Amino acid sequence: MLTEILREQTRRQHEELESANPLPQSEADYVRQLKKFFGFVEPWERAVAQALPADDMIRAGRQKTSWLEQDLEFFGINHADREQLPRINELPSLASRAEILGAAYVLEGSTLGGQVIVRHLEGELGLRDGQGYRYFRSYGPDVGAQWKAFRDELLRASSTAHDPVIVGAARETFEMLHRWFRQCEGGRS
């Protein structure tokens, strides 16, 4: 099944990304993380909006940029400040829907891991009621249902022709995120 293949064939990239992006131990660490995510998610979603119609299930109700904007605003980073934040230049390929689906697998999958991060942010940084961590709360109580719907879309798209493309795009996206996070650390964004 494609979802198991994706999990297995991206395991190394996923682990590398997690090790390069540990749970934040301070508010300053956390705000740096939010900026990194914003610098990747915002341009990717903007590009996908040009490549797919708004009602495509990859896009419909799955935009995360506004959640990051809310979180950054909570920490005093207003619209003008956000406009100055660095953005990734090299995005995952948008050449086919299968490639977009592979990249979306990484970003949608992060909503599951976000639930662990939410507990950490509440316990370690004292954040409450989604204030300052809307991005990681993502779909709230609907995370499981949203993941299942996305997983079903992956399975509908699965074929001998599409599976290698989807897996390759997911691996590429993990690697790009990892490079982006390392690049941001170098500049302490």
22: DSSP letter: P
Judged by DSSP in three states, 86 sits in: coil
Residues whose CB is less than 8 angstroms from the CB of residue 132 and which lie 6 or more positions away in sequence, other chains included: 71, 74, 75, 121
- Residue numbers of the domain that contains 35: 2-187
Total domains in the chain come to: 1
CATH code where residue 142 lies: 1.20.910.10
Alpha-carbon distance values, 2 to 20, 46, 101 (Å): 27, 27, 12
Q: State pTM to two decimals.
A: 0.93
Q: Mind listing the pLDDT tens digit of every residue in the chain (189 residues)? A: 999 999 999 999 999 988 888 899 999 999 999 999 999 999 999 999 999 999 999 999 999 999 999 999 999 999 999 999 999 999 999 999 999 999 999 999 999 989 999 999 999 999 999 999 999 999 999 999 999 999 999 999 999 999 999 999 999 999 999 999 998 876 554
- 153 phi/psi in degrees, rounded to 5: -65, -40
pLDDT, residue 188, reads 52
CA 167-34-85 angle, to 5 degrees, is 100
User: For residue 19, what pLDDT is reported?
Assistant: 86
